[in-house]
Structure 1
Amino acid sequence: MATDGVCVLEYAIEYPTLNLKSKKDDEKTFDYGFLYCYSKECEKGFKAKKVGKTTKKGTKFTYTAIKDEHDFEEYKKILKQMISNFNYKYGANVKTQ
């Protein structure tokens, strides 16, 4: 991602709603939130590189730029597997676009 000569290669976001309390109280919603965080930055050309430990303050995700089409396809495979695992675990019917 580049804007006026500036290129963002990596950034971090902390999601306060993905915290220990939400993980304990509603694991399905917590896991769905994880799927969302893994997939939402793809639209901007980034993928989750690292996920920090969940704390009472939330969960920190570090995103890195998707390098090329192959990198993107590999990440899509990971996302599809995560969605498949979620659907199996909860009897859900989440689909990819």
Structure 2
Amino acid sequence: MSFRFASPRGPATLSVTEVGPNKVAYTVQTGSGQSRGGATGPGQGCVTVLRVNGSGNSCGPLGEAARPSPQPDAVVIQAATGQDGTAILHLVSR
């Protein structure tokens, strides 16, 4: 499953590459690069932030974290596994 969207770096595509019980993985392709993220296990997640000057990933336990907050001039992508084994994907822009 793929989603196209506008990012600070131009057109981008978010592709969900794996979904299963307690597992989710994705790839983000922009004209100038690619980022990957994924989570395995209950309550785990990855966040990718796309900005004009680059991108960054962070993965680990989410704890009580919910949907990511919008950031100025950025697109934030969060893929997480719920405590009940579901996969959750958020795409947030400002």
Query: Do they superpose with TM above 0.5?
Result: no
More helix by share: 1
Structure with more contact order per residue of length (Cα contacts < 8 Å, sep ≥ 6): 1
Return the index of the structure with the highest Cα Rg: 1
More strand by share: 2
TM-score (norm 2): 0.29
